[in-house]
Amino acid sequence: MSAADIARIIDHTLLKPEATRADVEALIAEAVELGTYSVCVSPSMLPLAVPEGLKVAVVCGFPSGKHTSAVKAAEAAESVALGADEIDMVIDIGTAREHRYDDVQADIAAVRSAAPSPTVLKVIIESAALTDEEIVGVCTAAVAAGADFVKTSTGFHPAGGATEHAVRLMRETVGPDLGVKASGGVRTLAQAEAMIAAGATRLGVSGSRALLADAGSDVGSGY
């Protein structure tokens, strides 16, 4: 894949708690320059002024997932009302580790109901904190709840971020029709290519410029 091809599946991400509006404006300018698919930000940063073609992804229940489903649903609905095209929600990881997959499904379904299609719903499962069995269980729940993507990680959990193994298992579980987003620790071109080969169709990257610079001189198709 060319640098431009990779850029078009990147959610250019800024989720640091100390991020300012000036930081987000710089993020948007860089996303436009690099030609990334979207910017991914915290809900308090909305609304954003973005050019046509650049999508806005917003996190929900982030980063712990320990919010109630009603709170997550309200957060998602407000973000959509303020211009979000995509919602990246965090499941309750403890619920998954207790194998309460019906409750995981209900949590996702509540957000799906609050942010119906055409809003894209991505479900962050925090794969590094789960066993293979649990990854399969929560991915199956995400499919049943009507999600559009499953996503590896918040990037904030001490257990770590995306791995090729987790991405491959997620892809095998959800099949060809759902998206798989690899995020958390995807910093180099080699890592990005490995995640894509394992089945990722979207990448969450904060250091997009450095990653794309490794891919060649055609960085930045722009808008």
What pLDDT, on a 0 to 100 scale, did the predictor assign at position 223? 54
Q: What is the DSSP code (8-state) at residue 218?
A: T
Instruction: Please name the residue that has the structure tokens 């891919």.
Output: 215
Q: How many domains does the chain have?
A: 1
Q: Which of 11, 107, 122, 151 is catalytic?
A: 151
What's the CA gap between 174 and 61, in Å, rounded? Answer: 22
Question: Is 203 inside any structural domain?
Answer: yes
Question: Is 219 inside any structural domain?
Answer: no
Q: Where are the beta strands (DSSP E) in 147-207?
A: 149-151, 179-183, 202-205
Question: Is 42 inside any structural domain?
Answer: yes
Q: What is the DSSP code (8-state) at residue 91?
A: P
88 labelled catalytic? yes
122 labelled catalytic? no
Answer yes or no: pTM beyond 0.75: yes
**Assign residue 35 a region: left if phi > 0, alpha if psi is -120 to 50, beta otherwise?**
left
Q: At what angle do helices 132-145 and 164-174 cross, to 10 degrees?
A: 40
Q: Which of 11, 72, 88, 107 is catalytic?
A: 88
Q: Where are the beta strands (DSSP E) in the chain?
A: 10-13, 38-41, 55-60, 86-90, 120-124, 149-151, 179-183, 202-205
**Assign residue 58 a region: left if phi > 0, alpha if psi is -120 to 50, beta otherwise?**
beta
Question: Is 220 inside any structural domain?
Answer: no
Confidence of residue 214 (pLDDT cuts 50, 70, 90): confident
What pLDDT, on a 0 to 100 scale, did the predictor assign at position 188? 95
Residue in 188, 182, 127 with CA at minimum distance from that of residue 149: 182
Q: What is the CATH number of the domain that holds 23?
A: 3.20.20.70
Question: Is 218 inside any structural domain?
Answer: no
- Domain range for 13 is 3-213
Question: Is 221 inside any structural domain?
Answer: no
Question: Is 136 inside any structural domain?
Answer: yes
Question: Is 149 inside any structural domain?
Answer: yes
Confidence of residue 215 (pLDDT cuts 50, 70, 90): confident
16 labelled catalytic? no
